[in-house]
Amino acid sequence: DSGVTQTPKHLITATGQRVTLRCSPRSGDLSVYWYQQSLDQGLQFLIQYYNGEERAKGNILERFSAQQFPDLHSELNLSSLELGDSALYFCASSGVKGYTFGSGTRLTVV
């Protein structure tokens, strides 16, 4: 158990819909990162939050947004979903104990 909790594990939704993925970081970690892994692709960095503030942005679409709450959990919101958004979405957290990943949410857009 990495200490990073992601829910739900699986999500199936239709094109055009909106979903929210949730991540609880490992205890003590202030940074949360979101990554996307599409078929045959490595993990692509989307966005990072540190103690509630956006710290860095990667290849995140405008249809996607995220936030980190005062209790440090984070949510990734994906809207106007397209077939190509089907992927594994990983959350990671980091702190003095290093960098660790959750087990991911598999999103399928049909």
Partner 1 sequence: DQQVKQNSPSLSVQEGRISILNCDYTNSMFDYFLWYKKYPAEGPTFLISISSIKDKNEDGRFTVFLNKSAKHLSLHIVPSQPGDSAVYFCAASESSGAGSYQLTFGKGTKLSVIP
Q: Which of 3, 13, 20, 44 binds partner 1 (CB under 8 A)?
A: 44
Q: Which of 42, 62, 70, 71 binds partner 1 (CB under 8 A)?
A: 42
Q: Which of 26, 68, 102, 109 binds partner 1 (CB under 8 A)?
A: 102
Q: Which residue has the tokens 């942005």?
A: 57
**Tally of CA atoms within 13 A in the half-sphere of 50 that contains its CB:** 5
Nearest one of 72, 102, 80, 82 to 17, comparing CA atoms: 80
Q: Which residues bind partner 1 (CB under 8 A)?
A: 2, 4, 30-31, 33, 35, 40-45, 48, 50, 55-56, 58, 90, 92, 94-104
